[in-house]
Amino acid sequence: MDFTGKSLLITGGTGSLGKALTKHVLGEHPEIRRLIIFSRDEQKQFVMAQEYPLEKYSQIRFFIGDVRDKDRLTRAFKGVDYVIHAAAMKHVHLAEYNPEECIKTNIGGAQNVVDACLSTNVSRVVALSTDKACAPINLYGATKLTSDKLFIAANNIKGNNPIRFSVVRYGNVMGSNGSVIPFFIKRKEIDNILPITDRNMTRFNISLSGGVEMVMNALENAWGGELFVPKIPSYKILDVAEAIGPNCEKPVVGIRPGEKIHEEMITPSDSFYTYDLGKYFAILPVTPNWDLDEFIKEFEAKKVPHGFSYNSGNNTNWETVEGLRSLIKNHVDPTFSA
């Protein structure tokens, strides 16, 4: 994608994916005119600014603001060409305990981003979803499903505006804040005990670089209204524990409220609108505002069978214990050893 003379804004830009996107964009697209990091945590911005000093990275800007504040968003979006919406309340148990706060950020914030984009000259928007938005059983997932619907439906109210809204949905990002791998590594250091929620539990796995690649693909290729899902491997929680601490104690502690045994990304009900694009699946809007036949031709898209589902338990691609150890060393902790 050519960023020459363009501006990109990332909401939640100080998070794990936001920082990975920043590294990618500044490394691969130095021709970008401006990269704006929009977030509400001044300390994280301060720390990130030390890594990207203006003397070396003249394109970067740090913008304090909250997605709950539409006026602040609208001001930030002026002169911006592309928006990646990564800001969210993400921790399941915190959302359950603070439901109103989660709703304000994940739903109200999403609508504010949509409105601010429509009232400025933003041309492309990619919103980050989560596997927990698929058939949600917790509040976090329910708010992200609502957010997904808001961004997809925004394509119906844009009028003659050429803006395109799309969504990317993927599983657990390896090594991201609060995820199981760094948690297990820390517990191994503290007490050699790795708590297992359920022995049958599985999860999807994607690296930060894989997440970045997917977002950039959507930013460049989306027609508007697609919900992209990557084809990625799964892992068994017992294999993760074995990869990190083969000699650790592994007590079964039970699943937490709002947690699934297997993560889902495409349900059988989604199959009626889901197409295989090769590297990704795309759940298309029920009534796209573009020619479906042309889309199928452009991407050589193939309709999935009715009743098709995609979850971490029925996946055909699995990480191994040794493969996980290699991935942890390459993507999470270069000093790691089992």
**Sequence spans of domains, the chain:** 7-171+207-231+264-311
Domain formed by 7-171+207-231+264-311, architecture: 3-Layer(aba) Sandwich (3.40)
Beta carbons of 20 and 208 less than 8 angstroms apart: yes
258 pLDDT band, cuts 50/70/90, is confident
User: Residue 115 phi/psi, 5° resolution?
Assistant: -65, -45
pLDDT digit string, tens, across residues 19-44: 999 999 999 999 999 999 999 999 99
State the average pLDDT over residues 63-73. 98
- Digit-coded pLDDT (tens) for 72-130: 999 999 999 999 999 999 988 899 999 999 999 999 999 999 999 999 999 999 999 99
Q: How confident is the model at residue 224 (pLDDT cuts 50, 70, 90)?
A: very high
Q: How would residue 186 be classed by pLDDT, with cut points 50, 70 and 90?
A: very high
Mean pLDDT in residue range 297-324? 96
Residue 337's pLDDT band (cuts 50, 70, 90): confident
Mean pLDDT for the stretch of residues 272-289 = 96
* Catalytic residue, candidates 132, 144, 236, 260: 132
pLDDT value at 324 more than 80: yes
Residue of 266, 287, 286, 262 lying closest to 277 (CA atoms): 266
Tell me phi and psi for residue 13, to 5 degrees. Answer: -70, -10
Q: Of 109-113, 220-224, 258-262, which gets the smallest average pLDDT? A: 258-262
Please determine, for residue 171, whether its predicted confidence score (pLDDT) is greater than 90. no
Q: Report pLDDT for 112.
A: 98
pLDDT (mean) for 245-258: 91
The pLDDT, as a whole number, for residue 48 is 97
pLDDT of residue 332: 87
The better pLDDT of the pair 170, 150 is held by 150
What the block records as the tokens of 94 is 């915190």
Q: What's the chain's average pLDDT?
A: 95
Would you place residue 176 in the very low, low, confident or very high pLDDT band (cuts 50, 70, 90)?
A: confident
Q: What is the pLDDT of residue 267?
A: 96
Give the model's pLDDT for residue 228: 98
CB 257 within 8 A of CB 96: yes
CA angle 105, 127, 269 (to 5 degrees): 100
For residue 275, give Cα distances in angstroms to 213, 268, 289.
19, 13, 17
Q: Say whether 132 is catalytic.
A: yes
pLDDT confidence of residue 174: 87
pLDDT at position 132 is: 93
Report pLDDT for 12. 97
Q: Residue 173 above 90 pLDDT?
A: no
Q: Round to whole Å and give the CA distance between 193 and 184.
A: 8
Per-residue pLDDT at 177 exceeds 80: no
Percent of the chain with pLDDT over 90: 90
Interval 290-300 mean pLDDT: 97
Q: Are 77 and 120 in contact (CB under 8 A)?
A: yes
